[in-house]
Amino acid sequence: MKPIIVAALAIAALSSSAAAAETIFYGSRVGMEVTVTSKSGIGSQNAVIRAAHTAENAKKFCLEYAQDKSEKCVRDELAVPLSDQITANCKTGAFTTFNGLKRKFEGLNKPSDQTSAKYKIIDVASGKKLDGTEASNYPVDIAQFIALCPGHAKPE
């Protein structure tokens, strides 16, 4: 009897961990997320989160945001070019996003900065500060940075 109970518990544990796979957003719309496959060096100068853009992720986007049940929607969503990892140097604040952008976290914004963003994030390519809006991708980028470098910023 005991082996059956142990086996049932093991199957239940595996099922619940698979059902609760960790995801992280790559965009601001519902379902714009990828499934985390591994993490290493979190909080360090070599923080890495690897992820896969799965059919399940794409289907969630199609159903919940695009309101489209077609396989074409899933294929189109899976075709969105994304990096399979994000990285950060938590000491310098340099980090990359799933969209392939290079950013730099520079701590809290000053009240005189006149922005809705709590934290200062610089787009490395342009040198411009993200303004805190979804159009600048600030909410997604700060969440990715926090996932890589917990303790450097708090979720807003």
Residue 28 lies in a domain: no
**Rounded Cα distance, 68 and 78, in Å:** 14
Residue 64 lies in a domain: no
Residue 31 lies in a domain: no
Evaluate if residue 71 carries a pLDDT over 70: yes
118 is in which domain, residue-wise? 36-54+82-148
3-state percent helix, strand, coil for the chain, nearest multiple of 5:
35, 25, 40
Residue 5 lies in a domain: no
pLDDT of residue 20: 61
pLDDT of residue 140: 96
pLDDT in tens, 89-107: 999 999 999 999 999 999 9
Residue 22 lies in a domain: no
| Number of domains composing the chain | 1
Residue 18 lies in a domain: no
- Give the mean model confidence (pLDDT) for residues 138-147: 97
Residue 17 lies in a domain: no
H helices of the chain, in order, are 2-19, 55-61, 71-78, 138-148
Residue 107 lies in a domain: yes
